[in-house]
Structure 1
Amino acid sequence: MDIKAPDLGVDSAEVSEIMVAVGDVIAKDDNIVLLESDKASVEVPSSAAGKVIKISVAVGDQVSEGMVLIELESDDSGSDDNADSVDNKDNENQKQEEEPQASPDSASDTESSAPKKSSGAATTYALPDLGVDEAQVSEIMVSVGDIVTADQSILLIESDKASVEVPAPVAGKIEKILVEAGDMVANGQDFIVIVGSGSDDVTEASDSKLATTEAKDSTQAEVKGKADKQTTGEPKQAAKTSNTDAPASKPVSKLTEAQVNEKLVNVYAGPAVRKLARQLGVDITQVSGSALNDRILKEDLFAHVKESLTTQKAAPVSGNVASSSLPSLPDMSNTEIWGETETQDLSRLQKVSIPQLNYNTLLPQVTQFDLSDITETEKLRSELKGSMKAEGIGFTILAFIVKATGYALTQHPRFNSHLSDDNTQVILRKSVNMGIAVATDDGLIVPVIKNVQDKGLKQIAIEIGELAVKARDKKLSTKDLQGASFTISSQGILGGTAFTPLVNWPQVGILGASEATMQPVWNAAKQTFEPRLMLPLSLSYDHRVINGADAAVFTRYVATLLADPRRILL
């Protein structure tokens, strides 16, 4: 029985941890893998109970909806899936008895992966479901004559959404490779011919596999160091020529898609990297690749942007942000200067958040500060929280902030928008999907409340509580984290009088709320100071879309709504 990836809410996510092993007996809803996107960690439960007979993914793989994660030997002996699993197991045991010299792992992988043909025959294999209609062959990781094991990565396939390594369907010897780097391939297309591990040639070659692997590693290192001796099919040389001959680019504004595509003809980069180059407005022919054969990675694009900012080549729309590009750390090994140091790894969530945070170096961000008198609102909340608590609902001031801000966004839709890629249009959102920043042990995570404009305070409070619990328990689905049009970051009772929240691109605004405190406020009518509960607000915004006057008006409007929530009913 195949256990497949459910609807992830995104095109693909990375396997961060495999939580079961072959031979484990699991129950329905037991967690089997941990998937991570750039927003969250999601544990995927098993849809059935049984014994794990095969794990079809590896840590680091990109998976999408419908991809097989594991195979189970079902508890239900009457099911077809179970019958197939039992047959496979019997065949595997029989094969191990006939070939006692083969390792159990190798026999299991070969039996489960290969078609039912003689093991020594040359067999043509087709590509698995790639999750997209077509994708580009970015790298061929084996050569004709190589000995491979089942599930060894042999191709790197890239779409505009993800990079996927295609594993060898069986163990054996590579007889023929039917695709080339740069080819566009589709699901089910024949891509390789492998002689099964039963042939004499493969058996003899297996004895010297370690030496062959070492020789290949040495050869690959040589190839990387000799640019002019690259094999046919790798467009490195052409890309180098393009980099040399092309006139110096002037990154004054983003290139059009047609212009970028013209320059990409002789550049060694996958579709995902090309798409990112368009988004960043980078002339990719000016970027140096760091991967094997000078293939350009996303990290190379970010490094190019940072270097451009440092040398003052950034576009005017980005402003003078050269100081945001930091030099490399000094050598801190000298303890007489730096003292003792300790290295700690970032959490997985922090690591995957860094590329998104790097976008902020390109945003001209400004922050507007204000205060809201929430004295009367807090009285109303105190009156209602008892009945809410009886229903199991936590009724915090955040529910009022979300409701007031959601209403304000319907009245000021430019704050609920995105700037188009070519910087010529603003895309206004018709619904308000509010991101709520939640602190967890692994870092900050931002689940989303959808259609806030249509929900009352009680429903908003319920959803805030549910999302907070799911975030802390790592139970958020990818759908819980997508589609935000604006974000609120509340520091609650953590302290502080104000802060500067970072705009979460492609959004154009984020509202920060600090701890409310009692402050003396002048009452002109009574000619005296009165103690009032004041809530500090910090609105950060993308100055390309929002100007300072509009930001001041919007922040004051939110403050006014929070002071008297009855205005929302008008």
Structure 2
Amino acid sequence: MTIKEIKVPNIGDVSDVEVIEISVSPGDRVKKEDSLVTLESEKASMEIPSSDEGTVEEVKVKLGDKVSEGSVIITLRTEEETSVSTEPSKTNEPIPPEKSEIKSPVASSTKQSKEVSVTIPDIGDAKDAEVIEILVEPGQHVNKEESLITLEGEKATMEIPSPFAGQIKTITLKMGDKVSKGDAILTLVISEEYPSTLSAELPSAPVREPSVPKVENASTKSSVTPVLATPSTSNESTHASPSVRRLAREFGIDLSRLKGTGPKQRIMKEDLQKYVKGVLSEGDSRGSGLQIPKMPEIDFSKYGETECIPLNKIKKLTGINVHRSWVTIPHVTQFGQADITDLEEFRKSQKEETEKQGVKLTPLVFIMKAVILSLKEFPHFNASLDSKGENLILKKYYNLGIAVDTPNGLVVPVVKDVDKKSTLELAQELAEISQKARSKGLSPAEMSGSCFTISSLGGIGGTGFTPIINAPDVAILGVSKASMTAIYQDEAFNPRLMLPLSLSYDHRVIDGADGARFIVYLAKYLSDIRTLLL
């Protein structure tokens, strides 16, 4: 047997690094490369592994210590190969043949049960530590070093492991109890093997004393012997026990992203499992790296009278879609204005004639025509990213989604092949789909397949807004209420009817310069009615 000192290896240029976690305790069996302590510098944290295999004799550091290269972490008791025949060889007596040993009845043994009371070990300066987690229950079988409870002091959190393997009979304490050194945790039933007959022919050999005191009389009732457990501590800022931290490291999870459901918002194992299941169920989705914290539940009734109205299906679905688009698509909104003075004069001049044909000619029809011309000029606006975000799919067709406000919520019917239809045909179709939307008559096919979306609030008011992209489109046009504005042109101020435009686009696909060019081209088409009629 050899005692070796395990020291801090070369950790680069850093010195006086803080010990933030101790992963072993005296008596622990460690293998080569097992983590012993965790150190934290200004730039990073690192685990220090064991350079040998053996049993921890003594831990030389404590939480909060500052260490550098060469500082002793632990002393390790290693076992070396020794000769087995030292004792018998000292005598002149011949060694009995192996066969005679085999005939001796040495294999017979009996098992006896014993109850031991596991108590709180020396936990340093911490007194009245609170029990914040009980990890076992009566009847459960535990292995040696398996965690039993978690305590929380003023400076650190520690798990108390079992000193033996056995079955839990009773648990003495409960959640929230204040405990100190020597307080009982639970009663553990352990089993031991005792030889029933020994061979007189065999030479006596040294036997290591068991760690649990022997029962003096096996026929009498077994007594409960107090046994101290050994704590494992952690003082990292996140509110979680060491076992939860170990699991988090195995899964590569940042605990700061989790919200704990335990006492004092402690992160429990169940919280970690729920988080992992949630991530797995979401799958691999580009842009889903944002971890949005949930809104806290608030009791608004304490401030006054309230009424709870459930959202209908349309509002729920719309909420899910716009939220997904907002958190997964990097939005940029470009604002502009279009002079529609001439366009509006032409529309009004045709109003009486179109109404005779049963068609209402609205400004939106002309905006749709202008959008198609702009999409042809800038084809990457008429596109979608693939599911992996690695390819741009250019579309050779022109379908426009038109946002329609209904009493039940926002819906977006799609007008297909806009480039192939006349102004009057578009006006007629717009009236039909708007009626269907308000009467819940739209089919799923009539709300899918868009290339670009228009959201018009011109009939209500406002001077500008930031519309949310209707994924998988890469852009959306917001239209506000037109107003007469004094515009300086031809060395004079003239009243012109100006239409506010808001273009939101996916910055992964569209650069800012192209966004500005698109809205300039769109304004040019709307300002000159002749280009729309060609």
Category of TM-score, reference length = shorter chain: 0.3 to 0.5
Larger Rg: 2
The TM-score with structure 1 as length reference comes to 0.44
The TM-score with structure 2 as length reference comes to 0.47
Q: Tell me which protein shows more helix as a share of its residues.
A: 1
